A and B are shown apart, each in its own frame.
Chain A
Amino acid sequence: MRVVIGEDEVLLREGLARVMAGDGLEVVATAGTAGELEREVAAHRPDLVVTDIRMPPTHSDEGLVAALRIRRAFPGTAVMVLSQHVQRRYATELLDDHSGGVGYLLKQRIADVGTFLTDLRRVAAGGTALDPEVVAVLLSRAARAGSRVGSLTPRQLEVLGLMAEGRSNAHIATRLGLSEKAVVQHTSRIYDAFALPVDADDHRRVLAVVRYLSEAGGSPTAG
C-alpha cells in the first residue's frame, strides 16, 4: 500500500513514516505544506493520504481543505486526517461524499500504534475511522435532540459508539467481551430502532449510522 504523509512537524513526520514503514506500508512521499502535499499526491497517486489539518502557511485548516480536494480530484484515494482537536463539523465535511475511505482522528491516537495501523488499513480498504471524541459528540447531540438514540440500552449505545468509530463486529465483540453473534443482534436492533435498511456491506452500514446520528442531532444554521 502506497502512502503520502502531510505533516509540518519534522520529528512527527519521521515518526509516522517509521511506524508505517515498520508495518509494511510504502511511504512514497512526505510533505510539510498543503500545497506540497497536493503536488506529491498528484505525482504519486497513492492509495492512502495521511495529513495534519493545520499546516503552513496560515496554520488554519489547509490540511483538511487539501484532503477534500484530493478526494474530489482522485476518487478512491483514502484519506486519514489527523488533528490536535476534533470537531463534528470536520467529520461531517469528510463523510459528506458518502463513499467511505475516510478517517478523522486525534493526533495522539498515533501512539496506540496497533490500533492506529488497524484504522489506517481499514480506511485504505474503504472503511471509516472516527475519533471516539467526535463519536461522543454525535451521540450526545442525537440523544439530547430527542432522537431514537435515547431509547437504546446502555450496551446498545456502547455498540453504536464503536460502530460509529468504524470498528468491525469482531473488534467490537473483543472490546466488549461479547460473542460476535451478540454484537450482530445488538446492531440489528439498532438498525431497527433507526429504521435503517439492512446493508450487507459493513462500510456502507457504518456510513448510514453516522449520517443518521449527524442528522438526528439537528443542524444548526452556522456559517
Chain B
Amino acid sequence: MGAGTVSRMRLPRSGARRAALSLVAVFALLLGVLQLAVGAADPDASLAVTLFTIVFWVWAVAGLIAWWRRPGSGTGVLLLVGSVAVFLSGLGNLGLPVATAFGAVFATGIFAVTVHLLHAFPSGRLRGRLSVATVVACYVVALVLQAPLYLLPADAGDVRRAAELVQFSAGLCVMVATAIILVGRLRSADRAHLRVLLPLYLYGTLAVLAIPLSTVVLPPLVADPDLIGLVQLAVIEGIPIVFLLGVLFGGYATTGETEALSAWLGAAESSRAAVAVALSRSLGDESLRVVYWAGERSAFVGADGADAPTLDGDPHRRRQEVHVDSRLIGAIDYDSRIVGDPDEVLRAARVLAVALDRERLTAAVLATNEELLHSRLRLVETADRERTRIARDLHDGLQAQLVLLALEAQQLATVPGVAATTAEAATGLRRRIDDSAAELRRLVHGLLPSALVERGLSAAAEDLVDRLDLNATLDARIDDGDLDPVTARTAYLIVAEALTNAVKHSGADRVHVELSTDRGRLVIVIADDGRGGARTDTGTGLEGLANRVDALGGVLVLDSPAGEGTRVRVELPCES
C-alpha cells in the first residue's frame, strides 16, 4: 500500500466536506453582498453596514478555514455560528423594520458565542458541568435577558434601565465564572499549551468585557460615537482571527479523520512507536500515549516493555482501553482537556485494535512460516544425516569386506600347485567381486560424494566437471570453509543434476559451472549451449531440488528458452 491508497481513501470525505464548505462560503458571500446592496440605499448607514459586513465575512472565513483545516475540532463550526450572530446583529443598521427587529434580538449574541468559544477551545466541545452551565447562562443572558430591551416600549425608561442592569450584572457573573474556569485551566496547563492559551483567553475575555464597558468608559474620552463603534467592531473582528490562529498553530493539530488514520496505519509498516505518533497527530494530543496490556504481569506497559505510568493524581488524564474480541490488548492514555470528544478516542481505539490485531496476526503468520521453514530444513538435514550415516556404514564395512573377499579369491589363484582351471575361476571370481565393489562405490559416492566430504564443494564440483562427457569448465570463487554441510550438499546436488541434464537432454557442446558468493549468499550458475526448453516440473530432477532450495530459503531460477541453451541459477543463504 502506498500514499496513493491513503489519498484515495480520504478523497471522498474531503470532497464532501469541500462541497459543503464551498456552499457555506457562497452563501456567506451572497448574504454579505445582499446586506451591502440594501445598506447602499441608505447613505447614513452605509459605513456601519460595510463594516459589519466585513466583520461578518472575517468570522465566516475564519470559521471556514478552521473547519477545513481542523475537521476534528468544533471551533470552525462555532466561528460560523458567530458569523451568523454578527450578521444578525448587523441587520439593525439597515433601517428596515424587520431587519432592525432581528438586529435588536441578536445584538449581544456574539458575546455568547465568544464565551462559548473560550470554554470550548481547542476541541470545540464543552467539558465539565460548570463550563456547560456557564455557557448556557451566557446564551440566556444574551438572548433571553435581551428581550425586555426590544419588547418594552422606548419610553419605559426606568424599567429599561433596570432590565439593562439585570442583563449587565448577569453578564458580569457569567464572565466572572468564565474567568475562574479559564484561570483554573491555565494553572493546570503545561508550558507549551500555556503559550497559546494565555493570550487567547486574555483576548477573548477582554473582548467580551471591553465592548459593553467601552460604551461606559469611552464616551468621556472619545467624543465621536462612531469611533467607539469602530473600536468595538475591531475588537470583535479580532476574536475569530485569534481563535483561528490558536486552532491552526497551537499544537492542537487534528489533521485527519480516523479513517485517514486507519489508512495511514495500513500503509505504514506500523511499528509501535509509529502507531502512537499517528494517534497523537490524529487526535491532536501530543501527550497521548499508547500502552499495551501485558497479561502475564497484569499491567499496562509501554512499547519498550517498561511499566506505563499510572493515571493517579492527574484528573485530566483519561484511559481508553483497546479490546480485540473482548480481550484487553492495550489502551490509549490522553488528555481530556485537549481531546474533547471521548467518542473520537473510542473510534481511534477501534482503529488501533485493528492495527494491533493485524500486527499480532502478521507476527503469528511469520512465526508459523518460520516454523514451517525450520521443519522443512530439519527434514532436509535429517535426510542428509541419514544418507551420510548409510554411506559411512557401507564405506567402512561393506567396501572393506569386498576388498578382503576379492583379495582372498585372488590368493586362491596363487596357491602353489593349484590347477589352472581353479586359478582361472578364482581370478574370475575376484573380477566379479571387483565389479560389485565398483557398483557399491558408485552407490556410496551418490549418497556421499568423497570430494565433498574430504575437500568441500569446489573439489566436488571439479570432480563432477572432470568426469563429464562434455566440454565442461568450472569457475569456483568460494571459500569452502564458509559453507555449512547442508548448503554445500544442496549446491553439489544442483550442479550434479544440472550437468546430468546437460548431458542427457540438452545436446549441448559445452557447459560452464560458476560458484561464487554475493552478500552472504552462495550463487550457483550452470549454463550450457544446448537446445533449451528445460522445465523444472517435468521429471528433470530439478523439481525436487527446487523444493530443497526453497526449504533452505534459497531461490532457483531456470532460464531455458527454446534454442538458446539452458541456464540454472541458484542462490542459497550461507554463513560468511
A28 vs B122: C-alpha distance in the bound complex, in angstroms? Answer: 102
In the complex, the answer to whether A84 meets B399 with C-beta atoms within 8 Å is: yes
A221 touches B477 (CB 8 A): yes
Question: How far is the CB of B470 from the nearest CB of chain A, in Å?
Answer: 8
* Interfacial chain B residues near A178, Cβ < 8 Å: none
- For the complex, count residues of B whose C-beta is within 8 A of A: 47
Q: Does A107 contact B (CB under 8 A)?
A: yes
A87 proximal to B (CB < 8 A): yes
Neighbouring B residues of A208 by C-beta, 8 Å: none
Q: How far is the CA of A61 from the CA of B480 in the complex (A)?
A: 14
| Interchain CB contact under 8 A, B459 and A110 | no
Contact A111 B441 (CB under 8 A): no
Measured CB to CB, the closest approach of chain A to B386, in angstroms, equals 17
Identify the closest chain A residue to B411 (Cβ): A113
State whether A87 and B450 are in contact (beta carbons under 8 Å apart), knowing that A137-B466, A220-B474 are contacts in the complex.
Answer: yes
With an 8 Å Cβ cutoff, the count of chain A residues facing the other chain is 35
How many Å from the CB of A18 to the closest CB on chain B? 9
Q: Tell me whether B399 and A87 are in contact (CB under 8 A).
A: no
Taken residue by residue from 122 to 151, chain A's Cβ proximity to chain B (1 for < 8 Å, 0 otherwise) reads as 000000000000000100110011000000
A220/B399 in contact, CB under 8 A:
no
Q: A144 to B434, alpha carbons, bound, how many Å?
A: 29
Answer yes or no: B358 CB below 8 A from chain A CBs: no
Binds B, one of A8-16, A37-45, A71-79, A153-161: A8-16
Contact with B along A63-100 (1 / 0, CB 8 A): 01000000000000000000111011100000000000
A223 within 8 A of B: yes
Interface hub of B402, B410, B438, B480 (most chain A Cβ within 10 A): B410
Q: How distant is the Cα of A114 from the Cα of B198 in the complex, in angstroms?
A: 112
Instruction: Point out the residue from B396, B407, B473 that lies within 8 Å of A111, measured CB to CB.
Output: B407
- Which of A83, A106, A114, A222 is packed against the most chain B CB atoms within 10 Å? A222
With A113-B407, A221-B476 already in contact, the answer to whether A88 and B433 are too (CB < 8 A) is: no
Cβ-defined contact, A221 with B403, below 8 A: no
**Is there an interface contact between A61 and B454, defined as CB atoms closer than 8 Å?**
yes
Whole-angstrom CA separation of A110 from B399 in the bound complex: 12
Q: How distant is B322 from chain A, measured CB to nearest CB, in Å?
A: 58
Which residues on A sit within 8 Å (CB–CB) of B437? 108
A85→B450 contact, CB < 8 A = yes
Q: Is the CB of B404 within 8 A of A11?
A: yes
Q: Are B441 and A145 in touch, CB under 8 angstroms?
A: no
Stretch at the interface among A52-60, A167-175, A184-192, A195-203: A52-60
Cβ A60 vs Cβ B454 within 8 A: yes
By CB atoms of chain B within 10 A, which of A15, A61, A85, A107 has the most? A85
Shortest beta-carbon distance from B400 to chain A in Å: 4
Query: Given A11-B400, A12-B400, A84-B395, do A89 and B455 touch, yes or no (CB 8 Å)?
Result: yes
Quick check: A111 and B434 within 8 Å, CB to CB?
yes
B406 within 8 A of A: yes
CB distance from B574 to the nearest CB of A (A): 17
Query: Closest chain A residue to B409 by CB distance?
Result: A111
Known A60-B455, A108-B441, A220-B476: A87·B414 in contact at CB below 8 Å = no
Chain A residues with Cβ under 8 A from B370's Cβ? none
B222 to chain A, nearest CB (A): 101
With both chains docked as a complex, state the minimum distance between the C-beta of A50 and any C-beta of chain B, in angstroms.
13
Measured in the bound complex, the distance between the Cα atoms of B463 and A141 in whole Å is 11
Cβ contact within 8 Å between B410 and A89: no
| Residue A19 interfacial (CB < 8 Å) | yes
Cβ B471 vs Cβ A222 within 8 A = no
User: How does the 8 Å CB contact mask read for B409-442 relative to A, with 1 for contact and 0 for none?
Assistant: 1110010000000000000001001100110010
Question: Nearest residue in A to B478 (C-beta to C-beta)?
Answer: A223
> A218–B466 Cα gap in the complex (Å)?
11
**Assembled-state Cα–Cα distance A129/B441 (Å):** 21
Contacts of A15 in B (CB 8 A): 403-404, 407
Distance in angstroms from B428 CB to nearest chain A CB is: 12
B335, CB-defined interface residue at 8 Å? no
Is B444 close to A, CB under 8 A?
yes
Interface residue ranges of B436-481 to A (CB < 8 Å): 437-438, 441, 444-445, 449-451, 453-455, 458-459, 461-463, 465-467, 469-477, 480
Chain B residues with CB below 8 A from A221, complex form: 474-477
Question: In the complex, what's the smallest C-beta–C-beta distance from A3 to chain B, in angstroms?
Answer: 17
A222 and B459 alpha carbons, distance in the complex (Å)? 7
Cα-based distance from A61 to B453 in the complex (angstroms): 8
Complexed CA–CA distance, A89 and B400 (Å): 24
Q: Which residues of chain A are near B433, meaning CB under 8 Å?
A: 111
Q: In the complex where A108-B438, A141-B466, A222-B476 touch, is A84 in contact with B407 (Cβ < 8 A)?
A: no
Contact, CB under 8 Å: B406 / A220: no
Q: Which of B407, B434, B450, B463 contacts A19 (CB 8 A)?
A: B407
Contact A220 B475 (CB under 8 A): yes
Considering the complex, give the chain B residue whose CB is closest to the CB of A82.
B403
Assuming the A-B contacts A60-B455, A89-B462, A221-B476, are A111 and B469 also in contact, with contact meaning beta carbons closer than 8 angstroms in the complex? no
Taking CB atoms, residues of chain A closer than 8 Å to B411 are 113
When distances are taken between beta carbons in the complex, the residues of chain A under 8 Å from B438 are 108
A108, B433: Cα distance in complex, Å:
9
Is A12 within 8 A of B445, CB to CB?
Answer: no
Known: A15-B404, A83-B450, A108-B434. A222 touches B461 (CB 8 A): yes
Contact partner, B474, options A11, A84, A145, A222, Cβ 8 Å:
A222
Q: Which of B401, B414, B473 contacts A114 (CB 8 A)?
A: B414
A108 contacts which chain B residues (CB < 8 A)?
402-403, 406, 434, 437-438, 441
Tell me the minimal C-beta distance from B389 to chain A in angstroms: 12
Q: Which residues of B contact A223 (CB under 8 A)?
A: 458-459, 476, 480
Distance of A87 Cα from B406 Cα, bound (Å): 23
Task: For the complex formed, measure the closest distance between the CB of A89 and the CB atoms of chain B, giving whole angstroms.
Answer: 6
Contact between A218 and B404, CB atoms less than 8 A apart = no
Q: Which of B430, B472, B474 contacts A112 (CB 8 A)?
A: B430
What separation, in Å, do the CA atoms of A84 and B445 have in the docked complex?
Answer: 9
Contact between B455 and A85, CB atoms less than 8 A apart = no
Beta-carbon nearest neighbor of B406 in chain A: A111
Nearest B residue to A137 via CB reads B466
A114 contacts which chain B residues (CB < 8 A)? 410, 414
* Further pairs besides A12-B403, A85-B449, A221-B474: 5, Cβ < 8 Å: A59-B453, A108-B403, A111-B433, A137-B466, A220-B473
Closest 10 CB pairs of A and B: A111-B406, A85-B450, A220-B474, A61-B454, A222-B476, A60-B454, A9-B400, A222-B458, A87-B463, A108-B437
- Give residues in A with beta carbon < 8 Å to B: 9, 11-12, 15, 19, 53-54, 59-61, 64, 83-85, 87-89, 106-108, 110-114, 137, 140-141, 144-145, 218, 220-223
* 26 pairs of residues in contact across A and B, judged by CB atoms under 8 Å: A9-B396, A11-B404, A12-B400, A54-B453, A60-B454, A84-B441, A85-B449, A85-B450, A87-B451, A88-B462, A88-B463, A89-B455, A108-B437, A111-B407, A111-B433, A113-B407, A114-B414, A137-B467, A140-B469, A220-B474, A220-B475, A221-B475, A221-B476, A222-B459, A222-B462, A223-B458
